[in-house]
Amino acid sequence: MKTLSMLFRNNIREYGMLIALIAVMLFFQFQTGGILFKPVNITNLVLQNSYVITMALGMLLVIVSGWIDLSVGSVVAVVGALAGVLVVRYHVDWMVTVAICLLVGAAIGAFQGYWVAYLKIPAFIVTLAGMLVFRGLTFVLLQGESVGPFPVGFQKISSGFIPDFFNYPGFHLTTFVIGVLLSVLLIVLDLRARKNQQKYGFEITPFYFFIVKNAVITAAVMGLCYLMASYKGLPNVLILLFVLITGYAFITSQTTIGRRIFAMGGNEKAARLSGVNTSRLLFYTFINMGVLAALAGLIVAARLNSSTPNAGDGMELDVIAACFIGGASASGGIGTVIGAVVGAFMIGVLNNGMSIVGLGIDWQKVVKGLVLLAAVLFDVYNKNKN
Q: Is the residue at 371 inside a domain?
A: yes
- The b/e string for 160-174 (b: 16+ C-beta within 10 A; e otherwise) is bbbebeeeeeeebbb
Question: Is residue 240 in some structural domain?
Answer: no
In a domain, 132, yes or no: yes
Q: Is the distance from CB of 174 to CB of 162 less than 8 angstroms?
A: yes
Flag whether 82 is in a domain.
yes
Q: What is the extent of the structural domain holding 73?
A: 2-36+52-155+255-385
Check residue 2 and give its pLDDT. Answer: 46
How far apart are the C-alpha atoms of 316 and 307, rounded to whole Å? 18
Report pLDDT for 134: 95
The pLDDT score that the predictor gives to residue 328 is 84
Say if 107 falls within a structural domain.
yes
293: left (phi over 0), alpha (psi -120 to 50) or beta: alpha
The per-residue pLDDT for 257 is: 92
Those residues with Cβ within 8 angstroms of residue 252's Cβ, 6 or more apart along the chain or in another chain = 60, 61, 258, 261, 262, 336, 337
DSSP classification of residue 86: I
Predicted local distance difference test score (pLDDT) of residue 280: 94
Taking the chain (386 residues) in consecutive chunks of 10 residues, what is each chunk's mean pLDDT? Answer: 55 69 88 88 88 94 93 95 93 94 96 95 94 94 87 89 88 92 90 83 77 87 90 90 92 90 90 90 96 95 91 89 85 86 89 87 84 76 64
The number of distinct structural domains making up the chain is: 1
Question: Looking at residue 128, what is its pLDDT?
Answer: 95
Residue 213 pLDDT: 82
Q: Phi and psi at residue 147, in whole multiples of 5°?
A: -125, 130
Please report whether residue 191 resides in a domain: no
What pLDDT does residue 139 have? 93
Rounded distance, CA 268 to CA 204, Å?
32
| Closest-CA residue to 233 (of 186, 168, 277, 184) | 168
- CA-closest candidate to residue 154, choices 208, 209, 98, 203: 98
User: What is the residue type of 29?
Assistant: Q
Q: Where are the alpha helices (DSSP H) in 32-71?
A: 39-64
Nearest to 186 by CA among 210, 209, 214: 214
Is 236 inside any structural domain?
Answer: no
User: In DSSP terms, which residues pair with 161 in a beta bridge?
Assistant: 235
CB 164 within 8 A of CB 236: no
CB 266 within 8 A of CB 333: yes
